[in-house]
Structure 1
Amino acid sequence: MSAFLSFRVQASPGGASGLVMPTEGGSVEVLFPRCAGLDVHRDTVAAAVRVQSGSGSAKVEVRTFATTGGSLAMLADWLAENKVTLVGMESTGYWKPVYYLLEDRFECWLLNAAHVRNVPGRKTDVADAVRLSDLVTHGLVRGSFVPPKPFRDLRNLTRARRTAVEERTRDVQRLEKLMQDAGVKLTSVASRLLGASGRAILNELIAGETSPEFLADLARGRLRNKIPELVEALVGRFRSGHHGFLAAQLLERIDLCDAQITDLDHRIEVMLAPFRETVDRIQAIPGIRWVTAAVLVAEVGIDMRRFPSAGHLASWAGICPGNYTSGGKIRSG
Structure 2
Amino acid sequence: MMEKIRKNTAGIDIGAKEFFVGLEGQKVKRFFTFTEDIAGLIAYLSSHKVESVAMEATGVYWYILYDMLQAAGFDVWLVDGRSTKQVPGRKTDVKDCQWIQQLHSYGLLSRCFIPEDAIQELRTFQRLREDHIRSAAMHINHMQKALTQMNIRLKEVISQVHGSSGMKIIHAILSGERDPEELAALCHISILKTKKEEVVKSLKGHYTANHLFALEQAVECYDFYQDKIIACDKKIQESLQRLNKDKEVDQNKKTRRKPIRHHKPDIKHLDQYLMGIFEEKDATVLPGISDYNWLQLLSEVGADLSKWKTEKHFTSWLGLAPKQHNSGKKNRNYKSKGTPKAGLIFKQAAAGLLNSKKIALGVFGRKIRAKKGGAVAIKAVARKLAVLYYKLQTKGLKYVEKGIQEYEEKLVEQKQRNILKIARKLGYELSEKQLVT
TM-score (norm 2): 0.64
Deviation at 1:194, TM superposition (A): 1.9
Give yes or no for the alignment of 1:28 onto 2:2: yes
Give the counterpart letter for 1:195 in structure 2.
G
Give yes or no for the alignment of 1:187 onto 2:181: no
Contact 2:66 2:76 in 1 (8 A): yes
Question: 1:174 — aligned with what?
Answer: 142
Contact 1:155 1:299 in 2 (8 A): yes
Question: 2:42 — aligned with what?
Answer: 76
Deviation at 1:315, TM superposition (A): 2.3
Deviates more, 1:197-206 or 1:276-285: 276-285
Contact 2:146 2:212 in 1 (8 A): no
Could you report, residue by residue, the CA deviation over 1:264-294 in whole angstroms, capped at 9, with x for unpaired residues? 1121111112333125534444333333222
Deviation at 1:189, TM superposition (A): 1.4
How far apart in 2 are the matches of 1:237 and 1:329? Answer: 60
Deviation at 1:328, TM superposition (A): 4.0
Deviates more, 1:201-210 or 1:241-250: 201-210
Could you say if the C-alpha distance between residues 126 and 320 of structure 1 is closer, same or farther in structure 2, counting changes exceeding 3 Å? same
Question: 1:229 — aligned with what?
Answer: 198
Give yes or no for the alignment of 1:212 onto 2:180: yes
Could you say if the C-alpha distance between residues 197 and 297 of structure 1 is closer, same or farther in structure 2, counting changes exceeding 3 Å? closer
Contact 1:110 1:144 in 2 (8 A): yes
Give yes or no for the alignment of 1:142 onto 2:116: no
Aligned-residue sequence identity (percent) comes to: 28
Question: 1:202 — aligned with what?
Answer: 170
Could you say if the C-alpha distance between residues 182 and 138 of structure 1 is closer, same or farther in structure 2, counting changes exceeding 3 Å? same
Question: 1:298 — aligned with what?
Answer: 299
Q: 1:163 aligns with which of 128, 131, 134?
A: 131
Contact 1:154 1:298 in 2 (8 A): yes
Give yes or no for the alignment of 1:256 onto 2:199: no
Question: 1:97 — aligned with what?
Answer: 64
Q: Over the residues paired in the alignment, what is the CA RMSD in angstroms?
A: 2.1
Contact 2:11 2:22 in 1 (8 A): yes
SS of equivalent residue, structure 1 residue 178 = helix
Runs of 4+ in structure 1 deviating by more than 6 angstroms, as ranges, are none
How far apart in 2 are the matches of 1:325 and 1:234? Answer: 60
Could you say if the C-alpha distance between residues 283 and 90 of structure 1 is closer, same or farther in structure 2, counting changes exceeding 3 Å? same
Contact 1:88 1:111 in 2 (8 A): yes
How far apart in 2 are the matches of 1:261 and 1:168? Answer: 10
How far apart in 2 are the matches of 1:329 and 1:124? Answer: 34
SS of equivalent residue, structure 2 residue 230 = helix
How far apart in 2 are the matches of 1:140 and 1:314? Answer: 22
Give the counterpart letter for 2:277 in structure 1.
T
How far apart in 1 are the matches of 2:316 and 2:207? Answer: 50
Could you report, residue by residue, the CA deviation over 1:68-113 in whole angstroms, capped at 9, with x for unpaired residues? 1111112112212222221111111211111111023111111111
Give the number of the structure whose residues are more often strand, by fraction. Answer: 1
Give the counterpart letter for 1:311 in structure 2.
K
Within 5 Å, which residues of 2 pair with 1:38-117?
38-50=12-24, 59-93=25-59, 94-104=61-71, 105-117=73-85
How far apart in 1 are the matches of 2:323 and 2:150? Answer: 45
How far apart in 2 are the matches of 1:328 and 1:305? Answer: 36
Contact 2:142 2:215 in 1 (8 A): no
Q: 1:265 aligns with which of 219, 225, 233?
A: 233
Contact 1:272 1:294 in 2 (8 A): no
Question: 1:281 — aligned with what?
Answer: 281
SS of equivalent residue, structure 2 residue 28 = strand
Could you say if the C-alpha distance between residues 165 and 78 of structure 1 is closer, same or farther in structure 2, counting changes exceeding 3 Å? same
How far apart in 2 are the matches of 1:306 and 1:197? Answer: 47
Could you report, residue by residue, the CA deviation over 1:181-201 in whole angstroms, capped at 9, with x for unpaired residues? 322111221122122221121
Deviates more, 1:209-218 or 1:303-312: 209-218
Contact 2:151 2:205 in 1 (8 A): yes
How far apart in 2 are the matches of 1:325 and 1:166? Answer: 39
How far apart in 2 are the matches of 1:256 and 1:85? Answer: 49
Give the counterpart letter for 2:197 in structure 1.
P
How far apart in 1 are the matches of 2:141 and 2:133? Answer: 12
How far apart in 2 are the matches of 1:176 and 1:324? Answer: 46
Contact 1:207 1:244 in 2 (8 A): no
Could you report, residue by residue, the CA deviation over 1:141-181 in whole angstroms, capped at 9, with x for unpaired residues? 21111112222111111111111111112211222222223
TM-score (norm 1): 0.82
Could you say if the C-alpha distance between residues 164 and 323 of structure 1 is closer, same or farther in structure 2, counting changes exceeding 3 Å? farther
